[in-house]
Amino acid sequence: MCLILLALGTHPDYPVIVAANRDEFYDRPTAPATFWQDAPQVLAGRDLEAGGTWLGIDRSGRFAAVTNYRQGHRETRAVRSRGHLVADYLTGRMDAAEHVAKVEQEAQRYNGFNLVAGDPAGLRYISNREGQARVLAPGVYGLSNHLLDSPWPKVTAGKAGLNGLLAERGDLVPRLFALLADRRQAAEDLLPVTGVSPEWERLLSAAFIASPEYGTRSSTVILVGRDGRVRFVERTFGPGGGVGGEVRFEFKLSP
């Protein structure tokens, strides 16, 4: 997952708005979002290589998502896949505070990560490249492959676009997908320096990444309404950004 846009407590109808792109190599086996057979309360895609997930929500509204922290060099294989940071929370019994505290203690078991976890009452953020967990106040946030709200071009543009939607009513889903579909690459003087080649920095600077081998594999929109209803829409993509499919789920939050 390489771009997560969040609006918390800022929209008249939806206390939680999530719009996110997952970027990955196309040859990594992945299952599209659905309710898991082995954990029927969890709605998420699945990494079929390591067994975790990059983003998901359960029927009670517990939500989590993770991104990698880009360091410009290949890290050695960690003890655990970062996808378990999300899966363990959604399938477990800990609340967000307990889970994040556990993650803090075990952070060295994972390669660089950013984790957001919580429920409609509040979200928490932790990175093992920053150290200290924090509770997210109401507002608009953007997260890519650096720390929360790092002013990378796609994070800045995504937050501005999401802010522009907060006063709007009606169906937000197509407008959020339009934000996620932005393929414009940043100007050279605005590119971050993370240790990868200039060509890769330019490719990765777009909200939606399309290339023959690596790119945006899925775009996900989640709306949690004040009436307790959840809308979850995921679109999947293939090499070069070709459209794969779409799944939609709606359900009422349960205790």
For the segment 174-221, what is each residue's pLDDT rounded down to a tens digit? 999 999 999 999 999 999 999 899 999 999 999 999 999 999 999 999
Residue 12 belongs to domain with CATH number: 3.60.60.10
Cα-Cα-Cα-Cα dihedral sign, residues 184, 189, 192, 193: positive
Cross-strand bridge partners of residue 223: 17, 231
Structural domain including 83 reads 3-252
Taking the C-alpha atoms of residue 238 and residue 44, their distance in angstroms, rounded to an integer, is 19
User: Distance (Å, rounded) from C-alpha 122 to C-alpha 95?
Assistant: 11
Q: What is the pLDDT of residues 22-75, one digit of tens each?
A: 999 999 999 999 999 999 999 999 999 999 999 999 999 999 999 999 976 666
**b vs e for 139-168, b when ≥16 Cβ sit within 10 Å of the residue's Cβ?**
ebbbbbbbebbeebbbbebbbebbeebeee
Q: Judging by beta carbons within 10 Å of its beta carbon (0-12, 13-18, 19+), is residue 196 exposed, middle or buried?
A: middle
The count of domains in the chain is 1
CB atoms within 10 A of CB 232: 21
Confidence band of 154 (pLDDT split at 50, 70, 90): very high
